Amino acid sequence: MAVFVESIAPVPGQSLRLLSWTQDVENVRLHTDCGGFQAVRGRGTQWHRHPEIELTLIREGQGLHLVGDRLSRFSDGEAVLIGRNLPHYWRMQRPSTGYCIQFDPQTLNTVWQSPEIDELRFLWGHCERGLRLGGRLAESLHTTVQMLPDLSPLSRLRCLIEILESISTAAEDNVTPLASADFHLPEPGDPYDDSIAMVVNLITTRYQEELRLDEILAHLPLSRATFARHFKLSTGKTFSSFLTEVRIDHVCQALATTKRNVTDIAYESGFNDLPHFNRTFRRLMMQTPRSWRKPHAMHHQP
Query: Going by DSSP bridges, is the β-strand pair 17-21/37-41 parallel, antiparallel, or unpaired?
Result: unpaired
HSE of 253, CA atoms in CB hemisphere, 13 A? 18
146 and 203 housed in the same domain = no
* Mean pLDDT, rounded, for 249-274: 92
134 and 26 housed in the same domain = yes
138 and 237 housed in the same domain = no
Query: Residue 302: is its pLDDT beyond 50?
Result: no
pLDDT band at 149 (very low <50, low <70, confident <90, very high): very high
Q: How far apart, in Å, are the Cα atoms of 248 and each of 2, 121, 129, 211?
A: 24, 38, 24, 15
Q: Distance between CA atoms of 255 and 243, rounded to whole angstroms?
A: 19
Q: Distance between CA atoms of 187 and 200, rounded to whole angstroms?
A: 18
pLDDT band at 295 (very low <50, low <70, confident <90, very high): confident
Residue 213 counted as domain residue: yes
The number of folded domains in the chain is 2
- Which of 143, 177, 211 terminates a domain? The answer is 177
35 and 139 housed in the same domain = yes
252 and 164 housed in the same domain = no
81 and 128 housed in the same domain = yes
Number of Cβ within 10 Å of residue 75's Cβ equals: 13
Query: Residue 215: is its pLDDT beyond 80?
Result: yes
Residue 63 domain boundaries? 4-177
**CA 75, chain centre distance (Å):** 11
Which pLDDT tens digit goes with each residue over 92-116?
877 899 999 999 998 877 888 888 8
Query: Residue 188: is its pLDDT beyond 90?
Result: no
Query: Residue 274: is its pLDDT beyond 80?
Result: yes
149 and 213 housed in the same domain = no
- Which of 127, 142, 177 terminates a domain? The answer is 177
Strand partners, 175: 133
Query: Residue 148: is its pLDDT beyond 80?
Result: yes
Q: Which CATH number goes with the domain that contains 212?
A: 1.10.10.60
Query: Residue 154: is its pLDDT beyond 60?
Result: yes
Which pLDDT tens digit goes with each residue over 8-22?
666 777 889 999 999
Residue 183 counted as domain residue: no
Angle at 243 between CA 194 and CA 284, to 5 degrees: 140
* pLDDT attached to residue 237: 86
Greatest mean pLDDT among 38-52, 79-93, 114-128, 260-274 lies in 260-274
